[in-house]
Structure formats: C-alpha cells, structure tokens
C-alpha cells in the first residue's frame, strides 16, 4: 500500500478543524500531519515540514486563503492546495483557480467530493 497523502489543515475555526481531522482519520490513504490556524502559520509549517496537500480555509483573518495559496505556490516545491469554504460560489471558485489552487470545495461538500478530488490529485496514493 502506498504511503498516505500527508495533509496540513488550515482553518481559523478550531471546531471545524477538529471535526475534519476526525473525519479524515477514518481513511488510511490520508494522514493529517499538522494543523494551522492562520495563513501565516500555514506558510511556516509548510516551509518546516512540507505536506503533500494543504486543505485551506478561504476566509481567515490576516493572510486569507487566496493570498496564502499565492505564497504557497511560489515555493520551490509547492504542495497541492484545496480551498474549503462556506462561500461556495463561482466567483470565489474562479479566484481560487487564478491563484493556483488545485481544487475548490464548499465545506458542505466535503463528505461527498473531497476524496474524489484528492484521488484525482494523487491517484497512486489515494486509491481505496
């Protein structure tokens, strides 16, 4: 079995991050390796120990999700990034693509669409 996809969770709402981590722990094809409560903290964590994938909240105080994606994608070995948001509309989706995000999902779609998206980004690692 291939190594699991290493994930960094980034969200300013600790309850959501804990719920998502609990959900992801059910799947051996992924491993939450760290959590961050801000874009700034996410950048520090990625530079210190790069994950394969960052699940990133769109709306955060300070460095928001779109600005965080831009900075992550400017790194020499950028991780894949999926933006998660309560504001799931075409305008934000287009902005996410423009910044280099590899995916964009509404938080309400996580249980149905997150794993198909991860599988499309990491076909060998995320196979069931």
pLDDT of residue 75: 94
pTM higher than 0.85: yes
pLDDT of residue 126: 53
pLDDT of 71-128, one tens digit each?
999 999 999 999 998 877 778 778 888 889 999 999 999 999 999 999 999 987 755 5
The parent domain of residue 62 ranges over 5-121
Q: How many domains would you assign to the chain?
A: 1
Q: Six-digit token pair at 18?
A: 């804990």
Longest dimension (CA), the chain: 39
Q: What is the CATH number of the domain that holds 79?
A: 3.40.50.2300
Q: For residues 87 and 70, what is the distance between their CA atoms, to the nearest angstrom?
A: 19
Residue 46, token pair as written in the block: 């990625």
Note the helical H segments in 13-89.
14-24, 39-48, 65-73
Backbone angles phi, psi at 49, to 5 degrees: -150, 90
Q: Is 96 inside a domain boundary?
A: yes
Instruction: Provide the CA 66 distance to its chain's centre, in angstroms.
Output: 12
- The answer to whether residue 66 is domain-embedded is yes
Q: How far apart are CA 70 and CA 89, in angstroms?
A: 20
Mean pLDDT of 49-73: 94
């Amino acid at each position: 079995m291939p190594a699991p996809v290493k994930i960094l969770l980034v969200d300013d709402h600790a309850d959501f991050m804990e719920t998502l981590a609990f959900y992801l722990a059910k799947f051996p094809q992924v491993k939450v390796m760290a959590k961050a409560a801000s874009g700034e903290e996410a950048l520090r964590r990625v530079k210190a120990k790069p994950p394969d994938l960052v699940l990133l909240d769109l709306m955060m105080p300070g460095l928001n999700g779109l600005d965080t994606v831009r900075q992550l994608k400017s790194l020499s070995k950028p991780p894949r990034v999926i933006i998660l948001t309560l504001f799931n509309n075409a305008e934000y989706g287009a902005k996410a693509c423009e910044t280099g995000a590899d995916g964009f999902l509404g938080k309400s779609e996580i249980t149905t669409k997150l794993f198909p998206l991860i599988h499309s980004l990491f076909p060998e690692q995320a196979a069931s």
